[in-house]
Structure 1
Amino acid sequence: MYNIILIFVCLLLGVLLQKVKRLPVNTYKLLNDIVIYFCLPALALYYIPKIQLDTHLLYPIAVTWISFTVSILFFSFLGNKYGWSRKLTGCLIMTAGFSNTSFLGFPIIQALYGEEGLKMAILVDQPGTFVVLSTLGVIVATVYSTGSPNGLQIAKKILFFPPFIAFLLACCMNVFHFDFHEYIQFSLQKVGSVMTPLAMISVGLQLHFDRKSKHFKFLRLGLLYKLILTPAIIYLLYVVILDQHSQMIQVSVMEAAMAPMISSSIIAAAHGLKPRLCSMMIGFGIPLSFITLVFWYFVANTI
């Protein structure tokens, strides 16, 4: 509950800070850099060495791989059909294709399903969402921002992307059953813990409730995919087609139903993919998700 309240407080603080005239206009870019270059790597180095993987855990891990792949196909098709700009298409892929599986997902799943549910949520987030964001997410952001795919440039972006470097290091630590000293772990946890307030202040600084905004029709489409279609796809695939019925599947559906991911929106905005629409997806998506999550909770409990 604390994380949920913190999200709304920091979002409101960011909106209020827009009124401070002495505040540099690019403050949100500084906050984005801190999140990307410090907080995300710290989270990877803290959590991934502690994960114990098994083949039956592929269901929660695959949630984001599926949702992001379908997002690419869905919005690319619409973008080509209606002649959208590459940056608009890339923005919708990035913001609608990722769920907020950690900072919204963790406290909600823990409240609903306890510690066992939280362990499954970590699997959705770390080897799932985090890896997709660090690889496919960076590729999509780069391709749609430059307009000219360059294999070498994309490879460099991925290989030198700090969260991805931290992820590779953390995976090696996991394989060799190595973890940092408890003092280092404590430091990593504290650095990672400031991600939510910094990210939400950044979003608030960029959030503008313009009733005449040309982005509203795209906002509705993006949130329709994220809050309704994504969990529906996971439910259809896991429950209807594969006939899986367990708490693990319930958690997978609920994590798929979470609001748009803050980190993916920040990365998209940092690449110039419609920053205002990115902030709108977060600013409107988070409060709306609390309504749609109630519906998906009742659906998940029928599994």
Structure 2
Amino acid sequence: MIQIVALLVVSLVLGMLARRSGRFPEQTAPVLNTYVLYVALPALVLRSIHRLTLAPELLLAAFTPWLVFGGAWLFFRALGPRLGLAPGSVAALVLSGGLSNTAFVGLPFIEGVRGVQGVTVAVVVDQLGSFLVLSSVATLYASRAAARDADLGALTRKVLTFPPFLALVAGFLSQAWAWPGWVDEVLARMGASLTPLALFSVGYQLRLSGLAGRGRALGLGLGYKLVLAPLGIALLLLGVPGLSRLVFDVSVLQAAMGPMVTGAILAVEHELDPELAVLMVGVGVPMSFLTLYGILWALGPVGVF
């Protein structure tokens, strides 16, 4: 786990230092964002979905990220305007607060606290939950929020031709065939570039001076993402008869992960209050390291709050 934390922190700090150095062109962040969304993420999705083995009892766990995103849509659309937030800011909160970092923080964290069996559940939550949400409804929502009068058919076509979504479909269709080892290795190396480059981009755009006047929006966003979302998932799963302790714990912990970096980049790419989206990740990911252990303590030896 310490290696993952170090990678996240170093990538974020290097991005901040790069901006301060003045040696990087102004288009650094947009170029990196485009690479992440159109190259690294599709490679990661294609490889992961192709290798995915799904057990029927894990479908409930896979549904939890959809509930978190749907809850974010309801929560921020209801409270955001009452706090004086502009529509673009509300959309930024939905995209950053409604998507969890279930892969690059979630998988190693779950492995550390719940072992290899926990990773099996965590991968399903990540692949059939977070990745599917990001590649479909989140992309459609971002497009709709950025172009309020756009034709629904045009927005749907944009989602269906979005490279991560195409990679998702290709991954499912190709599951019946085994790939040569070199294909898997190429996709693995391309996908591995996502985390450092995405966080470098976030760090490059992060300006802590932007915290001024953003306290209410940031508090609303992180309050939902780090506290209310996992609490809501826990309360919903408590009513499911026969649910195993492992599936319960992993589903709650994955819901408690910090904001997904790629979700924030999606907001930035669609010009939906980029500053707020970047702050959600820049502040939320480090803060989640503390709140995760608090939630882990709350789960306790019997696996319930």
TM-score normalised to structure 1 length:
0.95
Contact 1:86–1:147 (8 Å) recurs in 2: no
Query: 1:56 — aligned with what?
Result: 57
Give yes or no for the alignment of 1:84 onto 2:62: no
Q: Which amino acid aligns with 2:74?
A: L
d(CA) in 2 for partners of 1:111 and 1:212? 33
Question: 5+ unaligned residues in a row in structure 2: which ranges?
Answer: none
d(CA) in 2 for partners of 1:188 and 1:42? 5
Query: 2:167 — aligned with what?
Result: 166
Alignment of 1:243-258 (within 5 A): 243=241, 244-258=243-257
Question: 5+ unaligned residues in a row in structure 1: which ranges?
Answer: none
Q: Which amino acid aligns with 1:74?
A: F
Query: 1:259 — aligned with what?
Result: 258
Contact 2:210–2:275 (8 Å) recurs in 1: no
d(CA) in 2 for partners of 1:126 and 1:144? 25
Alignment of 1:21-40 (within 5 A): 21-40=22-41
Q: Which amino acid aligns with 2:78?
A: F
Query: 1:242 — aligned with what?
Result: 240
For the aligned residues, what is the CA RMSD?
Answer: 1.4
d(CA) in 2 for partners of 1:211 and 1:48? 38
Q: CA deviation at 1:27?
A: 0.4
Q: CA deviation at 1:168?
A: 0.4
Q: CA deviation at 1:213?
A: 2.3
Percent identity (aligned)? 35
d(CA) in 1 for partners of 2:74 and 2:247? 27
Q: CA deviation at 1:212?
A: 5.8
d(CA) in 1 for partners of 2:100 and 2:253? 10
State the SS of the aligned residue for 1:18.
helix
Q: Residue by residue, what CA displacement relative to the aligned partner does 1:4-45 show, whole Å, maximum 9, x if unpaired? A: 210100100001111122311120111111110111111111
Contact 1:254–1:300 (8 Å) recurs in 2: no
Q: Which amino acid aligns with 1:162?
A: P
d(CA) in 2 for partners of 1:212 and 1:199? 21
State the SS of the aligned residue for 2:159.
helix
Contact 1:86–1:145 (8 Å) recurs in 2: no
Query: 2:148 — aligned with what?
Result: 147
d(CA) in 2 for partners of 1:155 and 1:84? 27
Alignment of 1:1-303 (within 5 A): 1=1, 2-82=3-83, 84-174=85-175, 177-210=176-209, 213-239=212-238, 241-243=239-241, 244-301=243-300, 302-303=302-303
Greater mean deviation of Cα atoms: 6-15 or 39-48 = 39-48
Q: Which amino acid aligns with 1:280?
A: L
Q: Which amino acid aligns with 1:154?
A: L
Q: Residue by residue, what CA displacement relative to the aligned partner does 1:134-186 show, whole Å, maximum 9, x if unpaired? A: 11101110111112242122112111100000000101122xx2232111001
Contact 2:91–2:145 (8 Å) recurs in 1: yes
TM-score normalised to structure 2 length:
0.95
State the SS of the aligned residue for 1:6.
helix
Greater mean deviation of Cα atoms: 210-219 or 278-287 = 210-219
Contact 2:102–2:122 (8 Å) recurs in 1: yes
Q: Residue by residue, what CA displacement relative to the aligned partner does 1:241-295 show, whole Å, maximum 9, x if unpaired? A: 2253421111111110000000111011110011111111011001110111011
Aligned length: 300
Q: Residue by residue, what CA displacement relative to the aligned partner does 1:198-224 show, whole Å, maximum 9, x if unpaired? A: 011000001111166222210111000
Report runs of 4+ in structure 1 exceeding 6 Å deviation.
none
State the SS of the aligned residue for 1:19.
helix
d(CA) in 1 for partners of 2:141 and 2:162? 14
